[in-house]
Each structure stands twice: as structure tokens, then as C-alpha cells.
Amino acid sequence: ARVKTVMGFVLLAAMLKYASNIDQVLQLGWLTRERFLAGWFVMFALAGLYLLGLLRLEGVEEGDRLGIGRLLVASVLLIFAFSLLPGMFGAPLGELDAYVPVASAGSGAFNRGSTDAGLAWKKNQYKEALEEARAGNKLVLVTFTGYACTNCHWMKANMFPRPEINAAARNLVLVELYTDGTDKESEDNQKLQEEKFATVAIPYYAILDPDGKVVASFGKGMTTDTQEFLAFLTAQPA
């Protein structure tokens, strides 16, 4: 009964994750990062308290002896739950940032730099990005991404804040083209990616010159290799 109850809490957390994906794709904006993390905190904390016998539900009787195994599992659940709290105020959560909604602008004291590394990204403004590149004699970093793309979120939260990557990205005009939404912009972005690069995989990165010609592309998606991604970002026209 204890296992079923704990798995019930875990299942509810998983359902919240799927609901978050739907919310992001439809761009409803209801299940924000703060609300999502609050939900996860409550579910995992309740599971931990239940195993400790502090929450009286089916499977735990008064006077039950607390075994070492149950204590360890409860401790892990509670530690995980409380580790989520800083993220509710915009603080980075490391690897976990790939699975939770992105912090919105002004959502907390730690927000700036937590998920966007302080970089100025244009959203679905491909033509505007090329125009800015022409005006400033710069190259464009085009990121084909997705609202519910875990690997895309990981890259933005964990790769772009790295000092050398951040510095290289600041020399480029940055634009994100979302392809998994239900709007016409997503449809157009996906069509552009398929026609120009013969793929719809995300994340997909490409550096273009101001005329839209491809200077370099990075089709591996997510990478943890800083130097490999840095070599791509610093590519120059032949």
C-alpha cells in the first residue's frame, strides 16, 4: 500500500509535467514555472511526509516502526522537494531546468541569467534578425526550438550561460524560431527549417550571413561539449 501511495504522488507529478507541455505548446501561460514547481514541491513533500508517518494515509498505522529503507526514501523525496524552492524565485536548477517551464521576465530576483544567460533573443523574427545583421554587419544565430523541447531547454539553461559560449553568442544576432506551436508562425518556421536544412529536428542551430546564406550548422541537437559548440558559434564565412 505504501508503494502504491508514493507512486500515486509520482504519477501526479508526471501528469503535471505533461500538462505543462500542453500549456507551453498552446502558449496559454497558465502553468508558469512558479506554479509548476509549487505543484512538484507539494507532491514530493507529501510523499516524503507520508513515508515518515507524519501524513496519515492508507498503509501507515499508528506505532509503525520506521525502517532505514523508508527513512532513506523519505529523505530523498524531501531533499528533492526543498531543492525546488529556489527555482520558484527564478534561480537556476541545473539539469532539472530542462524539464520545468522557463522563468518569465521579471519572475524573480534570480531570473536574469538563470535561463537566458542575459542574452537578447528575438522570437520568431527571422526577417528582422537578418535586417539587424545587415545593419550591424553581424552574423545571425538561428535556433530552431520548441516550447516543450527538453533538449532545447537544457541548452538554453546550461550551455548558453557558460562564459565562453555567452561571450561568443553576444557577437551574433540571436533569433529563436519555434516549430512545435499550434500557430502559423510555428508552421512557417518548420517549413523554413525543412526547406533550408532538410530536417525538422530540434534543437537545430545555424549561423547565417545577413543575406541568409548558411555559414555553419549544428545538427547534433543537445551537446555537453563546450568547445565543440564554441567552435560552431565562432565559425566565419569562407
Residue-level pLDDT at 19: 94
Write the single-letter amino acid at 44: F
Residue pair 124/176 in contact (Cβ under 8 Å)? The answer is yes
CB of 102 within 8 A of CB of 150? Answer: no
Please give the Cα distance from 179 to 193 (Å, whole number).
9
Rounded to whole angstroms, the Cα distance separating 4 from 217 reads: 47
Collapsing DSSP states into helix, strand and coil, what is residue 178?
strand
Rg for the chain, CA atoms, rounded: 21
pLDDT for 56 = 76
| Residuewise pLDDT in 10s, the chain (238 residues) | 788 889 999 999 999 999 999 998 888 889 999 999 999 999 999 999 999 888 877 656 666 777 899 899 999 999 999 999 999 988 888 889 889 888 765 544 444 444 456 899 999 999 999 999 999 999 999 999 999 999 999 999 899 999 999 999 999 999 999 999 999 999 999 999 999 999 999 999 999 999 999 999 998 989 999 999 999 999 998 7
Q: How far apart are CA 216 and CA 85, in angstroms?
A: 40
* Residue 194 CA to its chain's centroid (Å): 23
Q: What is the pLDDT of residue 114?
A: 44
The whole-number pLDDT of residue 1 equals: 72
